[in-house]
């Protein structure tokens, strides 16, 4: 019997994937060779102290808002060292996350380091000054077979393209679960923390080079993980309107009004160009039931779920500043 892949069904539906990027305060990406278990921190290469720390942080996610990832690239392995990438969400206007890289003597040293970082304690390890753009492609097949079936080829294509195009300081990693199986192949582009799905050879080149027809991003752009999910829907429209230069702008956004079902969201997004121009957009981000699709959330799902995309309404632009920041709505981790 032929296997059915949830990502093929979702792609054929034409459902808009904007607003599906995860928003975490801290990402911790740890170099660890596959294979990985479905729950990545249960993998063979993960020591008990790190597994227990990850469980404690996930059990109290509202407090820590930390996401662990495992990454691997056989050409970037360190001899007798464990590489750890830490991406921290900044406050205020920003173009992306703040990155620190550590080369630790042993993977057992990762848990104490992460504990220090999250708790705001003095850090015992010295960061490595290694500027880089790190693109993480999900290949976590034990979590969902779509991620290996579609993610692995894109990972290898991305490595090849980076070499062919001579892109400097650009590293490609395969990574464990980043959410959104049905959008495979998926990727996060750090330090900006922009999420992509349904990647193919053409769109991959555009993502890597920030060149070509900006409309290429229309079907693959999941959202900017720096922003709340509803603001991501607005930000995608602004990206498609302003073009590639938009990726150089700093932004901050907030949801200032929202109904209980989150079908209606009033959003403010303030941005600043590299030249210093500052403006604010306000819009309503509302559910569009006319475009609802019945889709499997993963290959293992036995039933279909209603997926409703959102539309941007009543968009206005002004030069005013942001209102006092509202208390953010915490996004829970996808299991």
Structural tokens at position 159: 């490595």
Provide CB contacts within 8 A for 280, sequence distance 6+: 268, 269, 270, 271, 317, 318, 319, 320, 321, 322
- Backbone angles phi and psi of 278, in degrees to 5: -125, 135
How many other CB atoms are found less than 10 A from the CB of residue 284? Answer: 17
Both structure tokens of 86: 């830490």
Q: Which of 30, 2, 43, 16 lies closest to 141, judged by CA?
A: 43
State the pTM of this model: 0.92
Amino acid 3: pLDDT: 58
CA 52 from chain center: how many Å?
Answer: 24
C-beta separation of 84 from 28 below 8 A = yes
Task: List for the chain the helix, strand, coil content (%; round to 5).
Answer: 30, 30, 40
Q: How confident is the model at residue 171, as a pLDDT?
A: 98
Q: From CA 102, how far away is CA 124, in angstroms rounded? A: 11
Q: How much is the pLDDT for 4?
A: 72
DSSP state of 148: H
Give residue 326's pLDDT.
45
pLDDT mean for each 10 residues of the chain (335 residues): 68 88 97 96 97 97 97 96 97 96 97 96 93 96 88 96 97 95 92 97 96 96 98 98 97 97 97 94 96 81 84 88 44 40
Residue 157: Cβ within 10 Å count:
18
In angstroms, rounded to a whole number, what is the distance separating the alpha carbons of residues 294 and 289? 12
3-class secondary-structure state, position 310: strand
Return the pLDDT at 319: 73
Q: Cβ contacts of residue 199 below 8 Å, gap of 6+?
A: 137, 154, 185, 186, 187, 207, 220
Residue 208 host element (H or E) = helix 201-209
Task: Please tell me whether residue 232 adopts helix, strand or coil conformation.
Answer: helix
Provide the greatest CA pair distance for the chain.
59
Instruction: Output the pLDDT for position 2.
Output: 46
212 CB-near residues (< 8 Å, 6+ apart)? 202, 205, 206
């Amino acid at each position: 019997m032929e296997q059915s892949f949830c990502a093929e069904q979702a792609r054929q539906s034409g459902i808009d994937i904007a607003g599906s990027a995860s928003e975490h305060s801290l990402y911790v990406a740890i170099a660890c060779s596959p294979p990985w278990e479905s729950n990545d921190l249960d993998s063979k290469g993960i020591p008990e102290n790190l597994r227990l720390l990850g469980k404690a942080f996930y059990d109290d996610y509202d407090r820590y808002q930390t996401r662990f990832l495992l990454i691997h690239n056989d050409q970037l392995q360190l001899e007798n060292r464990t590489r750890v990438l830490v991406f921290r969400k900044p406050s205020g206007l920003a173009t992306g996350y703040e990155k620190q890289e550590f080369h630790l003597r042993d993977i057992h040293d990762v848990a104490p380091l992460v504990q220090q970082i999250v708790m705001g304690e003095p850090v015992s390890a010295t960061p490595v000054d290694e500027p880089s753009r790190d693109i993480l492609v999900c290949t976590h097949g034990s979590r969902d077979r779509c991620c290996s079936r579609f993610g692995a080829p894109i990972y290898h294509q991305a490595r090849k393209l980076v070499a062919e195009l001579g892109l400097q300081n650009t590293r490609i990693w395969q990574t464990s679960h980043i959410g959104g199986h049905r959008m495979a192949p998926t990727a996060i582009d750090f330090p900006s923390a922009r999420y992509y799905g349904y990647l193919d050879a053409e769109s991959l080149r555009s993502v890597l080079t920030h060149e070509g027809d900006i409309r290429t991003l229309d079907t693959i752009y999941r959202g900017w993980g720096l922003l709340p999910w509803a603001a991501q829907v607005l930000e995608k429209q602004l990206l498609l309107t302003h073009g590639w230069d938009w990726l150089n702008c700093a932004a901050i956004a907030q949801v200032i009004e929202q109904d209980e079902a989150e079908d209606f969201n009033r959003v403010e997004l303030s941005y600043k160009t590299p030249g210093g121009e500052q403006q604010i957009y306000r819009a309503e981000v509302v559910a569009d039931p006319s475009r609802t699709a019945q889709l499997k959330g993963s290959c293992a799902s036995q039933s279909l779920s209603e997926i409703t995309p959102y539309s941007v309404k009543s968009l206005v632009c002004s030069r005013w500043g942001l209102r006092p920041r509202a208390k953010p709505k915490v996004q829970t981790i996808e299991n």
